[in-house]
Amino acid sequence: MRSNDGSDGDGSGGDGGAAGFEASLVAAGVTFDGRDATLLRAIADAGSVSGAASELGRSRARALSRLETLEDAFGDLVERRRGGADGGGSRLTRGARALLARFDRLAAALAGTAGAAESVFEGVVEGRDGELAVVDTDAGSLRALAVGDPDPAAGDRVQVSVRADAVTLHDPDGTPSADATSARNRFPGDAIGVDRGDAVVDVRVDVGAEEPLAALVTVDSADRLGLHEGGAVVASFKATATRATRSKAAGDADERTE
């Protein structure tokens, strides 16, 4: 099992490179990326395609052409008016605003995902229960959502990932609530890393796997638990917040070239 800290040194070059990643929406073979979002926003701000193109240092013909391509794939995005007061103008459709919102959410989700440490377990699927898979890992048996194409079947080697922000920590002597908590994956272990921020704490828990399980909790929670390095703790996370994907095969062919 490995912990992946999403901000581990991608470098900071390039236009979108501050974050080290980019996300885009795809439909009908057309990609809606940050450049397209910028164009739509500039149109909304300027109230016209010509104003937006000028602002962005782009050719109006190309901007219009791009809008047509995007509209073919994503539906109407810009209402364009020729003549009239102000000579004409353009405004975003509801569809455009929805598309931008979706793009923003994707970007935010990615930023949230990339910024959140994620623990990865290696394991083997022991069985399936509908959308859930029971996976045997070094830390013990756990339940996870089977995702990917194709999703993992019994016997498959999988990688199980869980975000640090999905992990809840408990006092090992506490009485677990009888309601939803018994549907959670639970692992007792020892806190081997406790890094305090202003209001949140990064915790690493040795649950018996190769590498520690990462948890992100509030300072309030940590204090309430009396959390300290070396102390015993119980980590839990929902089955539905746990993902199992089939392990990828890259590198298997290396032995052939030796």
Q: Which residues of 3-19 are buried (b: 16+ CB within 10 A; e: fewer)?
A: bbebeeeeeeeeeeeeb
User: Strands 132-137, 213-218: parallel, antiparallel or unpaired by DSSP?
Assistant: unpaired
Binding mask 45-84 for its own copies (x = CB under 8 A): xxx-------------------------x-----------
Cβ neighbours of residue 13 under 8 Å, at least 6 residues apart?
none
Binding mask 39-58 for DNA (x = CB under 7 A): ---------xxxx-----xx
In this structure, what is the dihedral angle of CA atoms 101, 105, 111, 113, given to the nearest 10 degrees?
Answer: -170
Whether the link from the prior residue into 150 is cis, omega within 30° of 0, is: yes
**Is the CB of residue 239 less than 8 Å from the CB of residue 143?**
yes
Binding mask 203-232 for its own copies (x = CB under 8 A): -------------xxxxxx--xx-------
Q: Smallest gap, in angstroms, from Cβ of residue 47 to DNA?
A: 7
| Cα separation, 71 vs 156, whole angstroms | 42
Task: Tell whether residue 17 is a contact of DNA (CB under 7 A).
Answer: no
Beta carbon nearer to DNA, 89 or 212: 89
Instruction: Enumerate the β-bridge partners of residue 136.
Output: 124, 141
Q: Smallest gap, in angstroms, from Cβ of residue 45 to DNA?
A: 12
Task: Tell whether residue 147 is a contact of its own copies (CB under 8 A).
Answer: yes
The whole-angstrom distance between residue 229's C-alpha and the CA centroid of its chain comes to 29
Task: Tell whether residue 59 is a contact of DNA (CB under 7 A).
Answer: yes
**Is the CB of residue 184 less than 8 Å from the CB of residue 169?**
no
Stretch binding its own copies (CB under 8 A), from 56-64, 187-195, 205-213, 234-242: 234-242
Q: Smallest gap, in angstroms, from Cβ of residue 247 to DNA?
A: 26
Q: Smallest gap, in angstroms, from Cβ of residue 245 to its own copies?
A: 5
Beta carbon nearer to DNA, 19 or 46: 46
Q: Using alpha carbons, list the distances in angstroms from residue 80 to 50, 69, 94, 95.
A: 11, 15, 14, 14
**Is the CB of residue 103 less than 8 Å from the CB of residue 25?**
yes
Beta carbon nearer to its own copies, 13 or 230: 13
Task: Tell whether residue 172 is a contact of DNA (CB under 7 A).
Answer: no
Near DNA in 71-100, by CB under 7 A: 80-90
Stretch binding its own copies (CB under 8 A), from 17-25, 54-62, 187-195, 205-213: 17-25
**Chain residues that interact with DNA, rule: CB under 7 A:** 48-51, 57-66, 80-90
